[in-house]
């Protein structure tokens, strides 16, 4: 089997295993990453919400925010896990697509033609 084929399969395996990155922190009751708190969490930490943080924080409404699907947020751990896998597949697909476009534009043409 070609190495790239194995690496493609590896990406698929990582996508399916990705909910580990959702469940393990939840089991350990770990909070947000440092510096990635919601404005409310910042309030809990320092007693106020910095004005610029509150304003800029609401700047962009990402369609799949936090790797969840709309309306699936409160449907329990299984839904969250499935949404996480779907997010991983969408994200991997878009990365591949975008990187291929960039790569095709930038890569050297076959020497026979150049």
Partner 1 sequence: MHIPDGYLGPVTSIAGYAVMIPLWIIASRQVKKNLAAKQVPLLAIGAAFSFVIMMFNIPVPGGTTGHAVGAVLVAILLGPWAATIAVSVALVIQALLFGDGGITAIGANCFNMAFILPFTGYAVYRLISSRSHVKSFRRVAAAGIAGYIGLVIASLVAGIEFGLQPLLHHTTSGQALYCPYGLKVAITSMVAGHALVFGWVELIVTALVVKFLQVQDPALLEQQIGVGE
Q: According to CB under 8 A, which residues from 32 to 51 bind partner 1? A: 32-36, 39, 42, 45-46, 48, 50-51
Q: Which of 44, 75, 77, 99 binds partner 1 (CB under 8 A)?
A: 99
Q: Which of 44, 54, 73, 75 binds partner 1 (CB under 8 A)?
A: 54
The Cα 25–Cα 29 span in angstroms is: 6
Compute the radius of gyration of the chain from its Cα atoms: 20
Give yes or no for residue 81 binding partner 1 (CB under 8 A): no
Give yes or no for residue 75 binding partner 1 (CB under 8 A): no
Label residue 89 exposed, middle or buried (CB < 10 Å: 0-12, 13-18, 19+). Answer: middle
């Amino acid at each position: 089997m070609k190495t790239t084929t194995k690496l493609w399969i590896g990406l698929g395996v990582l996508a399916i295993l990705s909910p580990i990155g959702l469940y393990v922190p939840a089991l350990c009751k770990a909070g947000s990453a440092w510096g990635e708190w919601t404005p409310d969490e910042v309030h809990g930490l320092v007693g106020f919400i910095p004005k610029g943080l509150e304003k800029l924080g609401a700047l962009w409404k990402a369609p799949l925010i936090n790797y969840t699907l709309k309306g699936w947020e409160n449907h329990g751990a299984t839904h969250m896990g499935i949404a996480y896998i779907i997010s991983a597949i969408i994200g991997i697909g878009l990365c591949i697509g975008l990187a291929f476009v960039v790569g095709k534009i930038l890569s050297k043409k076959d020497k026979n033609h150049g």
